[in-house]
Amino acid sequence: MIKAYIFTICIFLGGLLFKAQAPCSDFDSPTLPAGNWVHAPYPNGNVTISSGTPNTLDGSQFLKLIDDSGGSRLVNTIDFKNLGQQFPGKCLFFDFYLENDGTFNGSPPIHPAIHIMSGSKIITFVANITVTEGSGWVRVRAPIANCSGSVLPSNSEGTWTMDPSSGTTCTDFNIIINNSTAVMITPDYTANPSEIVWYDNICVKPCADCDPNFKLDTSFSSTSNTATAKVSLDSYNPPNNYSVNWGDGTPITDHMTPHTYNTPGSYTVCVTQSDSKGFKKCSTCITFCYSKKVILKETDNTGLRSEGPDLEAISKEELQANRKRDIFLVPNPAKNYVDVQTSLSKKDKVAVKIIDGSGKTVLEKSENLNSGRQSIRLNIEKLIQGIYIVELTSEGKTGSQKLMISK
C-alpha cells in the first residue's frame, strides 16, 4: 500500500512557500566546510576535510574527513538544535563510507556512528552494521525519541549510547536529545591516526524508507489571473524517482517543470516517489487554492463601474499568512524557568506572554534584542503545574508554543 501525507493551504493572489523545517546537510556546496559545519574545538578540530563525488546512493557530492593527531571533530551548532522537541518520532539519517581504517594490516570492522551534543554532554548512535575499507556506502537512521524505563532508544539499525561523563539515566539522555545544541561527526573510530571516512546526507527525515516531502512555490499574475506553481524536493534521493500530479486533470510531469493554473479554485498537488523499477512507494500532497478577488469602483461620471483586484484585501491576507513567528522553548517541560528562543532579522523589541488555560495572561516580559538567534528567560517558579501557551511578538510577527510546567 502506498503511504500518503496530506497538507492543506489556501492562498489569495499572492505567493506562498511551504517548506518543512527539518535540517538536512547534503554537502553539495562547492565551498568547505559545507553549510554550518565547522571544526571543533573552534577553529582547529584536528581533522582535514575535503569533498568527493559521487555518493553511489544518490550520485551527489560527499564530505571526506581525514583523522589528524588528537581528537578529530566536525560539528554543526546551527541546524540541529532541540531535536527531541522539534522532531519526535522522526529519524536522523546519515550516509557513511570507510576509505581507510588507519592501519596497514586491517582492524576490526567499524560500526558507523553519529553524535548529538548538548553543551559538553554527548550521546552517540552506533549502527549495528559493520563496514571495512572499501566495502561500500551504507545509510543509517537513528530514531529521535525519548528514553523510557531504563533502556535507551534503538531500532533495527542500531542503538543510542551515552558517554558516562554525560550521565547514565533516561532523564540524562532525554535532556540531551531534547535540548541538543549540535550534531558531531568524526573519523576517530580506532586508536590509529590517518583514518579516512566519508559522510553525506545528514538529515532529519521520516523514519520510513520513503521521502516524498517537498516545498511548493506559488505566484499569481494579476494581469492574467493565473497561478504558477513549482515543486522543489526536500529529498536527497535520485530526482528522477519523483513525479507530480498537479490536481487539475493535466498529465503527470517530472518535478522540475513549473505548472500554470488558468482557473481559480482548489487544487491538490501530489508528489509520488517510486523505486528504481518504477514501483510507487509513497506520496505527499498539498492542497492549495487561489481566488480572484474584485471590487467595484467608479470609473467616470457616467456612473459605470468596473471590476478590479481588491489589492487592499490581498495585502491584508498576504500579511496575515506571513505573520507567524517561529519560537522554541527550552526546557519543555519546565520547572523553575524557561528560555524563549527565536531569530531576528534586525534589532527589535520582543514581547513575551504566558497565558493560562482560561486565556488569562499570567506573566509578561519585553526586551530590546539584537539581530540573530536570541533568547529571553522567564522565571516561572510561582506558576502552578499545568499547560500554558507562550506567545512571542517581534518584527510584526507573533508565534506561540505550548509549555508544560511540571513541579
Q: Quote the pTM value.
A: 0.53
Residue 97 and residue 168 in one domain: yes
Q: Which residues pair with 324 in a beta bridge?
A: 398
Residues 308 and 295 in one domain: yes
Find the distance separating the first CA and the last CA of the chain, reported in whole Å. 45
Of 175, 205, 235, which closes a domain? 205
Query: Among residues 266, 293, 321, which one ends one of the domains?
Result: 321
Q: Which three cell numbers stand for residue 87?
A: 522532531
In this structure, the answer to whether residues 74 and 178 fall within a common structural domain is yes
Q: Can you give the residue range of the structural domain that contains 387?
A: 328-405
Instruction: Please count the CA atoms within 13 angstroms of the CA of 330 that sit on its side-chain side.
Output: 21
Q: What does the DSSP 8-state code read for residue 165?
A: G
Number of folded domains in the chain?
A: 3
DSSP code of 140?
E
Do 170 and 224 lie in one domain? The reply is no
* Whether residue 40 sits in one domain with residue 183: yes
At residue 136's C-alpha, the angle toward residues 130 and 139, to 5°, is 70
pLDDT at 304: 41
Same domain, 9 and 92: no
The CATH number given to whatever domain includes residue 255 is: 2.60.40.10
Strand partners, 244: 253, 271
Residue-wise DSSP of 317-346:
HHHHHT-B---EEESSSBSSEEEEEEEESS
Q: Is the peptide bond before 239 cis (omega within 30 degrees of 0)?
A: no
**DSSP 8-class letter at 131:** B
List the beta bridge partners of residue 191. Answer: none
Regarding whether 193 and 103 lie in a shared domain, the answer is yes
192 with 51, same domain: the answer is yes
Percent of the chain at pLDDT > 70 equals: 77
User: What CATH number is given to the structural domain containing 398?
Assistant: 2.60.40.1930
Dist CA 321 CA 204 (whole Å): 26
Confirm if 222 and 310 have CB atoms less than 8 A apart: no
List, in sequence order, every beta strand (DSSP E) within 128-195. Answer: 138-143, 154-155, 158-162, 182-185
The DSSP 8-state label assigned to residue 249 in this structure reads S
Per-residue pLDDT of the chain (407 residues; tens, 9 = 90+): 444 444 444 433 333 333 336 899 989 877 766 778 988 765 557 888 999 988 988 888 999 999 887 778 999 999 999 999 988 888 999 999 999 988 755 667 899 999 999 999 999 999 999 999 999 999 999 999 999 888 899 998 999 999 889 998 999 999 999 999 999 999 988 877 789 999 999 999 878 766 656 677 777 776 777 888 888 765 545 556 788 888 888 888 876 778 898 888 888 888 887 766 677 777 777 777 776 654 444 444 444 444 444 444 434 443 443 445 678 888 888 888 898 888 888 888 999 999 887 778 899 998 988 888 888 999 998 888 888 888 888 888 888 888 888 77
Q: Do residues 369 and 307 both lie within one domain?
A: no
Using CB atoms within 10 Å of the CB of residue 320, give its burial: 0 to 12 exposed, 13 to 18 middle, 19+ buried: exposed
User: Are residue 308 and residue 370 in the same domain, yes or no?
Assistant: no
Task: Judge if 62 and 187 occupy the same domain.
Answer: yes
Per residue in 203-232, pLDDT tens? 998 787 666 566 777 777 767 778 888 887
CA nearest to 49, candidates 22, 40, 57: 40
Check whether residue 12 and residue 28 sit in a common domain. Answer: no
Domain closes at, from 183, 205, 227:
205
Q: Which CATH number do you get for residue 73?
A: 2.60.120.430
